[in-house]
């Protein structure tokens, strides 16, 4: 019931916001943006969510001129079904995320962002299975192109029993070194509460080339120090291995 209430509240906030553009004359600075992307491997915090296979992803976001925003994002996944190679009653092929928050700045160089994020995985789960649905709060602080973000789970983290109050720390630097070319760097650490051996760090080095009309291409190299014995799925694939990811995207 708590999960349903959380999703319902976030959905109401999201869809209420999407109705606001009808009053565009009152808030001309409010916008709706979206994106669609294709990747050769969907990585989340350094771990493959699609067993090394491609994914199609799409998102939409409403930004109010006050700084408040709400959005939704989705992707195909397979990591839950990959837990077993048999026809087990554990099956989910979709991730749907809802989020809302507030962005602002306190100088020309410093910005901040605080919000709530819900990860939802519709599917079939056996009795007694810890569902992977996860609610996180986050706060970030950025100086120019350097940002530090912390995410804190208010629920169990992605199906790990007893993992409430886990945290993820993300340090990222995205530097436009030439017009339309951006260097992307990141290092992060996932702490999984009360589950020794499941915590790990991940990092990334990549580049993004922006084209006209919202098109872009990104290539990144990702790696982790995740425990192979913990993060190897039923197909024998280590989902935290070093991986090159190519992303083709269109923003609108």
Mean pLDDT of the chain: 90
Query: What is the share, in percent, of the chain residues with pLDDT greater than 70?
Result: 88
Question: Out of 23-32, 38-47, 132-141, 177-186, which region has the weakest mean confidence (pLDDT)?
Answer: 23-32
Question: What pLDDT is stored for residue 19 in this prediction?
Answer: 45
Give tens-digit pLDDT for 59-116.
999 999 999 999 999 999 999 999 877 666 788 999 999 999 999 999 899 999 999 9
- Cα distance between residue 98 and residue 52, in whole Å: 25
Give tens-digit pLDDT for 203-231.
999 999 999 999 999 999 999 999 999 99
Question: What pLDDT is stored for residue 161 in this prediction?
Answer: 95
Domains of the chain: 2-20+30-251 (2.40.160.40)
Question: What pLDDT is stored for residue 83 in this prediction?
Answer: 83
Contacts 24+ apart (CB under 8 A), 138-145: 138/101, 138/113, 138/114, 139/112, 139/113, 139/114, 140/112, 140/113, 140/114, 140/170, 141/110, 141/111, 141/112, 142/110, 142/111, 142/112, 142/113, 143/109, 143/110, 144/109, 145/173, 145/174, 145/175, 145/176
Question: What pLDDT is stored for residue 3 in this prediction?
Answer: 53
């Amino acid at each position: 019931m708590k999960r349903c209430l959380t999703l319902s509240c976030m959905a109401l906030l999201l869809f209420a916001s999407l109705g606001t553009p009808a009053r565009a004359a009152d808030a001309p600075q409010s916008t709706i943006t979206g994106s669609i992307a294709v990747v050769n491997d969907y990585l989340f915090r350094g771990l493959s969510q699609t067993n090394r296979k491609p994914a199609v992803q799409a998102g939409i976001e409403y930004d109010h001129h006050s700084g408040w925003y709400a959005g939704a994002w989705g992707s195909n996944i397979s990591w839950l079904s990959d837990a077993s190679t048999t026809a087990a009653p554990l099956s989910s092929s979709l991730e749907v995320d809802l989020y809302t928050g507030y962005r602002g700045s306190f100088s020309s160089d410093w910005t901040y962002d605080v919000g709530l994020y819900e990860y939802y995985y519709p599917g079939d789960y056996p009795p007694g299975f810890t569902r992977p649905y996860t609610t996180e709060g986050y706060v970030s602080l950025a100086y120019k192109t350097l940002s530090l973000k912390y995410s804190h789970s208010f629920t169990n983290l992605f199906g790990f029993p007893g993992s409430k109050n886990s945290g993820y720390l993300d340090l990222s630097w995205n530097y436009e070194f030439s017009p339309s070319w951006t260097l992307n760097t990141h290092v992060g650490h996932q702490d999984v509460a009360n589950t020794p051996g499941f915590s790990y760090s991940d990092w990334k080095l990549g580049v993004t080339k922006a084209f006209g009309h919202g098109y872009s291409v990104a290539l990144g190299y990702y790696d982790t120090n995740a425990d192979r014995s913990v993060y190897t799925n039923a197909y024998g694939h280590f989902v935290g291995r070093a991986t090159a990811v190519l992303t083709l995207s269109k923003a609108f």
